[in-house]
Structure 1
């Protein structure tokens, strides 16, 4: 694998805690992998032979319900870590929502590396706790927020998290971006119908808060009002 110092998520990924020598050792264990939109890296319930850092792109974690429907349980962005160290099976499927570049390790080699470097274990634990906090926030969104608030919250999150995919490091967010998911996937993520998603996006657009030049593009014209709707501090 190439020198980790050139990685665009070097300072945000879990390996940020490692020194130069340790990074060189880790780089020898990993490999770059490009996957296309729609490709699945891991399948729910199958053995989990790899773990990975997302360099660029957006992936979804999903589970299948008994009636065959898919439930998207999380959306992962650049610098996020996917997979279960020390776990034999994946509790969810991991599928690319956009073309993506990953830094992939075999789970066994990564597990052994973790045992030798406790700082990386601590970083992974903190990242796991952050993901738990995000999951709890999402439970609040799905349980308490209105459809309009859910849409606004997702747009704010996308504007901030997509900026980590190698975009301008001088600003914490993007005011223009491409949606990595379609209307049906937004509905699945937010627990809404596709009709409600389309209706609420149109409503926010008509209020002059956003613009929607096409089916994927979003322009945030009034971030403060959008954050007010989302109730984001």
Structure 2
């Protein structure tokens, strides 16, 4: 069953929680009206596949709420999680007919979808959409390069702190606040998913989260509700400063 928060996501652009970060962020009223004519919403339950790699994609869109994973499968069956889709992230690529990765909802998720062909046509006549999509693509490239550093050079503790800082910054951005001081957010990933994404064992993830809690870097209520008393301290633990690191 989809949770009540997911069911309650606004369907009107003016009330959309990702409006200022999504592909439509720069659109004027008439451009939003054109998008509205080709959009629809889809809800996914945790664990449900949004699209399989190689499948034909007849839509593109933005994550409104929830989180999904991007996974690539090798010929011998081995899989690797290669990315996360957080609220406001874009799914699909205009001009490409097939999905490049498996996209699976990690939590209950709502997407604002656009019919692909009309969206591609609209991009030609709506520079604001094309410009914003380019910005988002470049931000995604920067984040991917930074993530290579996390996976290749950072310690297990730094990896956990880096992932927590990404989620905290995205949460702050959606709330139109700055990531500073004390911050509170819900962790959208299970520890198993964190281990998969970070290339760690489940035991290592649990041990490092417990260590961050013991050292006062984070506070935990249950397994998902996290308080960061001092965001700068978390960034130090991630090996970054408040102005650097991965884009959120």
Shift of 1:197: 0.8
- The number of residue pairs the alignment matches comes to 231
**Conserved? CA contact 1:9–1:164, under 8 Å:** no
- Helix, strand or coil at the partner of 1:16: coil
Aligned counterpart, 2:103: 94
- Separation of aligned partners in 1, 2:112 and 2:119: 12
Matches within 5 A, 1:140-179: 140-164=149-173, 168-172=175-179, 175-179=183-187
TM-score norm. by structure 1 comes to: 0.92
Which sections of structure 1, spanning at least 5 residues, go unmatched?
A: none
Instruction: List per-residue Cα deviations over 1:109-135 (Å, max 9, x = no partner).
Output: 111111221231122112111101100
1:80-135 Cα distance to aligned partner (Å, 9 max, x none): 11111110111101111111221111211111111221231122112111101100
2:208 corresponding residue in structure 1? 200
Which range moved further: 209-218 or 171-180? 171-180
Residue in 2 that maps onto 1:66: 75
Does 2:92 match 1:109? no
Q: Is the 8 A contact 2:53 2:100 kept in 1?
A: yes
Report the TM-score when normalising by structure 2: 0.86
Distance 1:163 1:223, change over 3 A: closer
For residues 172-193 of structure 1, give each alpha carbon's deviation from its aligned partner in whole angstroms, at most 9, with x where no partner exists. Answer: 4772222211111101111111
Structure 1 residues 12 and 38: alpha-carbon distance in aligned structure 2, compared to 1, 3 A threshold = same
Deviations 1:45-65 (A, max 9, x none): 111211011111111111123
CA contact (8 A) 1:3 1:27 kept: no
Q: Aligned Cα RMSD in Å?
A: 1.9
Q: In the TM superposition, what are the counterparts of 1:73-88 in structure 2 within 5 Å? A: 73-88=82-97
Structure 1 residues 34 and 223: alpha-carbon distance in aligned structure 2, compared to 1, 3 A threshold? same
